[in-house]
Amino acid sequence: MKQMTVGDLIERLEMFDKNEIVMFSYEYGDYWNTTVAEPVRGISTGKVKYSEYHSAFKVLEDENSPYLIEEENPEMCKDVIIIS
C-alpha cells in the first residue's frame, strides 16, 4: 500500500464538505477481525521506527529513546505527521 503524503491527504480531503467529521479506522484485534473507527482528535509531528514485534511503526515518545540512541540505521527512524 502506498504511503500518503500531506499533499495526497489534502487532495483527497478537498473532495469532501468541510463540515464532515473525520475518523480513522483500524482492526480491533478481536476474534471476528472487526474494523472500528475513532474520531480524529489531533495532529502532531513525531518520530517512528518500524517494530518487527508489532509489525507496524512504533511512535517514539522521547528523543532520548534507546531506540534512537542505539539505532544503527538512523534512516529507519522517520519524522512523520501523526493523526490521532
Q: What is the pLDDT of residues 36-84, one digit of tens each?
A: 999 999 999 988 888 889 888 888 876 666 655 555 566 678 889 999 9
| 49 occurs within a structural domain | yes
Residue 32 predicted with pLDDT over 90: yes
Alpha-carbon distance of 82 to 36, in angstroms, equals 19
Element (H, E) at 68: helix 66-69
**Domains held by the chain: number:** 1
Question: Do the domain assignments include residue 47?
Answer: yes
The answer to the question of residue 24 being in a domain is: yes
Whether 33 is covered by a domain: the verdict is yes
Q: Is residue 1 part of a domain?
A: no
Residue 61: predicted pLDDT: 77
* 63 within some domain: yes
Using the predicted structure, report yes or no on whether residue 1 has a pLDDT greater than 90: no
Q: Is residue 15 part of a domain?
A: yes
Q: What is the pLDDT of residues 8-27, one digit of tens each?
A: 999 999 999 999 999 999 99
Residue 49 structural domain: 6-83
Task: Look at residue 21 and tell me if it is in a domain.
Answer: yes
Confidence of residue 7 (pLDDT cuts 50, 70, 90): very high
